[in-house]
Chains A and B, each alone.
Chain A
Amino acid sequence: GENVEQHPSTLSVQEGDSAVIKCTYSDSASNYFPWYKQELGKRPQLIIDIRSNVGEKKDQRIAVTLNKTAKHFSLHITETQPEDSAVYFCAASIGGGGGADGLTFGKGTHLIIQP
């Protein structure tokens, strides 16, 4: 099955700096790559996603890049703010039904924004 590795497990950055979280996946058939943010004691919530026919996607201060050849995708947060402090999860999915289903998640990155 799919295996998703996520690094680093903890990331501390100064407020206003950029943060980058990286994930690799094992199954070249994976075609959907979402990122979820989970604040302490809350449910995971989707912040951005990308599909395999796109190399980069941006939404205000957040961007995701995908390198299908290397089986690698990254989350970039610019101009970090205190409210960005949370655990971030990457995930990968073959999707499309017809067999393996459900997202495979990375183990998470605890992002700490230092004032």
Chain B
Amino acid sequence: NAGVTQTPKFQVLKTGQSMTLQCAQDMNHNSMYWYRQDPGMGLRLIYYSASEGTTDKGEVPNGYNVSRLNKREFSLRLESAAPSQTSVYFCASSGGTGANSPLHFGNGTRLTVT
């Protein structure tokens, strides 16, 4: 049972390049989330999807787009990367309705934008 799988693990982009971070979960969870983690800032919610077919903005959505492709997969896209998007990105899922059940995190993607 893999849990939450994120790809890639590491990525270096030049300013203005685009990329998509992939996330898949095999726990049949309804809700999925994208967080970014910066030193001293904790984990900040970028976007979430409470169920297949729905997505909503979190605290820091600017510069990102998401797609809930199906119940298993939730991708995060950077259309035009900026140095301010250098961060560690975590995908997570939860089985409950809303964020009132435990989050299961992936192993993270370390993104550097030069």
Contact = CB atoms under 8 A, between A and B. Distances in A.
Binding site secondary structure of chain A: loop
Interface residues of A, number: 29
Contacts of B48: 101-102
Binding site secondary structure of chain B: loop
A102 B99 contact: yes
Interface string A78-99: 0000000000010001111110
A14 interface: no
A97 B105 contact: no
A94 B102 contact: no
B42 A97 contact: no
Assign chain B's interface to a size class.
Answer: 20 to 34
Contact of A95 (B33, B59, B98): B98
B70 to A, nearest CB: 20
A10 to B, nearest CB: 11
A102 B100 contact: no
Interface of A: 1, 6, 9, 31-32, 34, 36, 42-46, 49, 51, 89, 93-98, 101-108
Interface of B: 31, 33, 35, 40-45, 48, 50, 56, 58-59, 90, 96-103, 105-108
Given A94-B99, A102-B58, 17 more contacts: A1-B59, A34-B102, A43-B90, A43-B105, A43-B108, A51-B100, A93-B99, A93-B100, A95-B96, A95-B99, A96-B100, A97-B98, A101-B31, A102-B45, A102-B59, A103-B103, A108-B42
